[in-house]
């Protein structure tokens, strides 16, 4: 099947797209190991009329560029930025009860495949460049693919591929800070008065949660609060030295910076070793934009009642939003409560509805 899917009946194009979705889910692609999935998506897009390639960061790139000039002016650009990597773990891929089960079905190969299929259904449009991206390492703290793109493209509009449900768009994501904490002490007899390294670690974590609770005083909404988490903890000794290592994570609202949380941690115990990483500032997009209006109209056309959400996690919106400073939303079919779970799955009827919304959104944005 060569060329744009717009030459095919809609149902045939959607069936072809669902095959792409299942094929992508069947290819393991945890962060740092995305190569086979990227190659598959590039080949699929190339066969359907995209100028497709794998860029220097490893991202899958597919471009549909319509004619410019003749009254159309210079080409404007919309970037559909999904991610092709997943968290580790690979539950069995299967289709049952009208649902596709497997790692990435929701987060976020479902939205990414919907991007590629919707763009292919429309084909090149005069005066516009449609760029579909399967970015690498979104699930890692590096966000390698998005950071590479942020310095090399200047789009007019951006859609981030994340599960929001087919009838909603996301306008913002919280910030993040990760802290790897190391606590060490010389071994002593357990009958003695000295606190163990494990006890010191517990005391440190209790201090952190107390200080965060004070910071959250008066903040009634989760979106407004700092959310601390103890992601892992392990203890060991070599017969001379006790060591405890903890990873702490913090989800940050718009008015709290990573530096504020760094200072909070240091204030709990200046003797503790802390390595900070994964810093992202919270980001919230504008609501009154042509892109948002196009989505609202598209959702209504498909029989949905549109809604808005803000997310407590992070996404590539945190990376590219502050750099590109253009209309931006996140959108994608799928239930985000299934992200990263062994039961991850997407309802195929919802996925098809998401493709239809995206195609209608593109028509509203690019043809009006």
What's the rounded mean pLDDT across residues 100-104? 97
Mean pLDDT is lowest, of 92-101, 187-196, 351-360, for: 187-196
pLDDT one-digit tens code per residue, 317-339 = 999 999 999 999 999 999 999 99
- Quick one: pLDDT at residue 212? 98
Q: Is residue 288 domain-shared with residue 259, that is, in the same domain?
A: no
Q: Is residue 363 domain-shared with residue 254, that is, in the same domain?
A: no
- Helix orientation angle between 109-122 and 348-367, rounded to the nearest 10 degrees: 50
pLDDT one-digit tens code per residue, 117-154 = 999 999 999 999 999 999 999 999 999 999 999 999 99
Count of other CB atoms within 10 angstroms of residue 56: 7
> Does residue 185 register a pLDDT over 90?
no
Q: What is the distance between the alpha carbons of residues 322 and 324, in angstroms, rounded to a whole number?
A: 6
Which is more confident, 56 or 1?
56
Query: Between β-strands 241-252 and 175-186, what pairing exists: parallel, antiparallel or unpaired?
Result: antiparallel
Domain count, the chain: 2
What's the rounded mean pLDDT across residues 76-95? 97
Looking at 251, 279, 307, the residue that finishes a domain is 279
What's the rounded mean pLDDT across residues 266-285? 95
* Residue 2: pLDDT band with limits 50, 70, 90: very low
* Tokens describing residue 51: 């100028």
Q: Is residue 59 domain-shared with residue 144, that is, in the same domain?
A: yes
Mean pLDDT is lowest, of 56-60, 65-69, 183-187, for: 65-69
Q: How far is CA 352 from the centre of its chain?
A: 20
Per cent of the chain over pLDDT 90 is: 85
Domain span including residue 157? 5-174+282-367
334: left (phi over 0), alpha (psi -120 to 50) or beta: left
Mean pLDDT is lowest, of 73-87, 176-190, 269-283, 286-300, for: 176-190
Catalytic residue among 77, 85, 137, 139: 85
Question: Catalytic: 85?
Answer: yes
- Per-chain mean pLDDT for the chain: 93
The DSSP letter of residue 50 is -
The count of residues in the chain is 368
pLDDT one-digit tens code per residue, 151-168 = 999 999 999 999 999 999
* Residue 190: pLDDT band with limits 50, 70, 90: low
pLDDT one-digit tens code per residue, 200-254 = 999 999 999 999 999 999 999 999 999 999 999 999 988 889 999 999 999 999 9
What's the rounded mean pLDDT across residues 5-15? 72
The CATH number of the domain holding residue 201 is 3.30.70.360
Looking at 263, 279, 295, the residue that finishes a domain is 279
Is the Cα dihedral 193, 198, 202, 207 positive or negative?
A: positive
Looking at 230, 248, 279, the residue that finishes a domain is 279
* Residue 75: pLDDT band with limits 50, 70, 90: confident
Q: Is residue 63 domain-shared with residue 163, that is, in the same domain?
A: yes
* Residue 1: pLDDT band with limits 50, 70, 90: very low
Question: Catalytic: 199?
Answer: no
Q: Is residue 235 domain-shared with residue 260, that is, in the same domain?
A: yes
Q: What is the distance between the alpha carbons of residues 252 and 175, in angstroms, rounded to a whole number?
A: 4
Q: Is residue 261 domain-shared with residue 305, that is, in the same domain?
A: no
SS3 call for 111? helix
* Residue 4: pLDDT band with limits 50, 70, 90: low
Task: Determine the straight-line distance between the first and last CA of the chain, rounded to whole angstroms.
Answer: 30
Q: Is residue 187 domain-shared with residue 160, that is, in the same domain?
A: no
Catalytic residue among 34, 77, 138, 139: 138
> Does residue 71 register a pLDDT over 80?
no
> Does residue 267 register a pLDDT over 70?
yes
The CATH number of the domain holding residue 354 is 3.40.630.10
Per cent of the chain over pLDDT 70 is: 95
Q: Is residue 355 domain-shared with residue 216, that is, in the same domain?
A: no
- Quick one: pLDDT at residue 304? 96
CA nearest to 2, candidates 61, 53, 45: 45
């Amino acid at each position: 099947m060569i060329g744009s899917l717009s030459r095919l009946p809609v149902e045939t194009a959607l069936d072809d797209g669902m095959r792409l979705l299942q094929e992508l889910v069947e290819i393991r692609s945890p962060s740092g190991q995305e190569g086979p999935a990227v190659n598959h998506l590039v080949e699929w897009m190339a066969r359907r009329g995209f100028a497709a390639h794998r860029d220097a960061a490893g991202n899958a790139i597919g471009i549909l560029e319509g004619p410019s000039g003749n009254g159309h002016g210079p080409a404007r650009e919309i970037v559909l930025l999904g991610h092709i990597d997943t968290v580790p773990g690979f539950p069995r891929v299967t289709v049952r009860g009208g649902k596709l089960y497997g790692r990435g079905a929701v987060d976020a190969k479902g939205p990414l495949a919907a991007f590629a299929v919707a763009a292919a259904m429309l084909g090149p449009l005069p005066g516009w460049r449609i760029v579909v991206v399967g970015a690498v390492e979104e699930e890692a703290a590096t966000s390698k693919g998005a950071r590479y793109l942020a310095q090399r493209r200047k789009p007019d509009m951006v859609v981030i591929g994340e599960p929001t449900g087919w009838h909603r768009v996301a306008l913002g994501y919280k910030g993040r800070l990760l802290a790897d904490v190391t606590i060490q002490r010389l071994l002593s007899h357990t009958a003695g008065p000295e606190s163990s390294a494990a006890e010191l670690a517990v005391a440190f974590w209790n201090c952190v949660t107390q200080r965060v609770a004070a910071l959250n005083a008066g903040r009634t909404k989760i979106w407004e609060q700092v959310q601390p988490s103890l992601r892992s903890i392990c203890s060991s000794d070599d017969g001379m030295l006790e060591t405890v290592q903890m990873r702490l994570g913090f989800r940050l609202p718009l008015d709290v910076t990573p530096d504020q949380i760094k200072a909070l941690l240091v204030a709990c115990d200046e003797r503790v070793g802390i390595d900070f990483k994964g810093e992202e500032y919270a980001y919230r997009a504008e609501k009154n934009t042509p892109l948002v209006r196009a989505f609202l109209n598209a959702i209504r056309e498909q029989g949905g009642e549109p809604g808005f959400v803000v997310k407590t996690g992070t996404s590539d919106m945190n990376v590219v939003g502050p750099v590109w400073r253009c209309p931006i939303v996140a959108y994608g079919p799928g239930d985000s409560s299934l992200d990263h779970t062994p039961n991850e799955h997407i309802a195929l009827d919802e996925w098809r509805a998401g493709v239809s919304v995206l195609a209608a959104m593109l028509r509203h944005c690019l043809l009006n």
